[in-house]
Amino acid sequence: MEIAEALKKLGQQDDHEKVPDDLVPAGNIEPLHGILDADKFDRLIDLLKDQGWKGRPILVERVGEDNYQAWTGTHRLSAAQELDEDVPVVILPEDITSEQLGAFTEDHDRVQFLRRRNLTRAADLMQAEIDANELDEALREQTGKPSFSAARIPGYENAPSTKLLATHCVICGRPLRDPESVERGMGPECSGQGYLDDGENKSLANQFIHKAAVELAAGRISDVLALCDGLDTLGFHVAATRIRENHGNADQKVKIEIDVVDGCGSLLVRTPYKRGDKDRFVQAWRDIPGRRYIREEQANEIPRASKPELWALLREFFPGEHGRGPKGLFRIPKK
């Protein structure tokens, strides 16, 4: 699942990170572990046969001239090996080793380690894997398949995020103008295309469409893309593809960067400078409690307690713009 195929333009990648242009034979990559979910493995084989490789790259470490150790994508990689396919990979730099990554017991700690090394793409890929696994567990819980742990995300009717309203069609992005469309998360034109007409899990797919539209309204692009993989898992590939086509290039539009400061947990925020509204813009930053400007970072440091004031500033000066934060891609809601 893609929650965060949150990548910078290749030209903006850290020079220390290697982004290969060529594909690697799946057989040359050692999976992180064995197949834990036979049903998922079988579904991925069918998806690969029908559509080829459509997902994010595999994060790998080079362990020989032509051999690699995978750190993400065990089931996708195993399916590609079964079909003797090539797969796209992102190769960790040589000074990032299995010993370093293996020293962490939690995947989230590995993600933060990679972010501290400025390996944004690698961190995003690993974060996407974490979110994919959580969503897949929730999917299997709701569809009643066996051998699943309890879902780690709530049912969509009770999820706190659904207290927000879907404001734009998650398929085409047009504003939703009637109550029925708001409830569906799709406008009448897209609903008439029959994206969700077939399949035994139509009801659950409708829930995912609605949830994705709500996440879109909240600006959480990473979660929108994550839910696309849920639709793929349910067999609604056309709907998932259309959503990715319209929202999957958000990584190329990022103008706002938010990082967590090591040790204190405050936020380091980088935004463009609003020259046309200089005085009001500067004053808005100064009005945020506890804010201080870090000249060497060319960024503002904000206490976590001041997140509401930061969000108000972003909504005022950057409506509709994309950003990247600790949880992946997001979009500032339009006024």
Q: Number of folded domains in the chain?
A: 3
Determine the pLDDT at residue 164.
56
Do 241 and 288 lie in a common domain? no
Give the pTM. 0.44
Residue 229 lies in a domain: yes
Determine the pLDDT at residue 198.
61
Do 20 and 120 lie in a common domain? yes
Determine the pLDDT at residue 139.
56
Do 139 and 166 lie in a common domain? no
What CATH number does residue 81 fall under? Answer: 3.90.1530.10
Residue 5 lies in a domain: no
Do 26 and 77 lie in a common domain? yes
Provide CB contacts within 8 A for 286, sequence distance 6+.
none
Residue 150 lies in a domain: no
Residue 24 lies in a domain: yes
What the block records as the tokens of 29 is: 């990559």
Residue 45 lies in a domain: yes
Determine the pLDDT at residue 227.
83
Determine the pLDDT at residue 191.
83
- pLDDT tens across the length of the chain (335 residues): 332 332 222 223 333 333 434 589 999 999 888 887 777 788 788 878 877 776 688 999 998 888 899 998 888 899 899 888 899 999 999 888 888 888 887 788 888 899 888 888 888 888 878 777 766 665 555 544 432 222 222 332 233 333 456 777 888 777 777 878 888 888 888 888 887 766 567 777 888 888 888 877 777 777 788 888 888 877 888 888 888 887 777 777 788 998 888 667 789 999 998 877 889 999 999 999 999 999 988 999 999 888 889 988 998 999 878 888 876 777 787 66
Cα(303)–Cα(133) distance, integer angstroms: 31
Residue 4 lies in a domain: no
Do 232 and 195 lie in a common domain? yes
End residue of a domain, out of 248, 282, 314: 248
Domain assignment of residue 192, given as a range: 160-248
Do 20 and 102 lie in a common domain? yes
Residue 64 lies in a domain: yes
Do 30 and 113 lie in a common domain? yes
Map tokens 């295309």 to a residue.
Answer: 193
End residue of a domain, out of 143, 168, 190: 143
Do 226 and 180 lie in a common domain? yes
Do 32 and 138 lie in a common domain? yes
Residue 152 lies in a domain: no
Do 29 and 136 lie in a common domain? yes
Do 123 and 200 lie in a common domain? no
End residue of a domain, out of 248, 280, 309: 248
Provide CB contacts within 8 A for 279, sequence distance 6+.
none
Do 218 and 237 lie in a common domain? yes
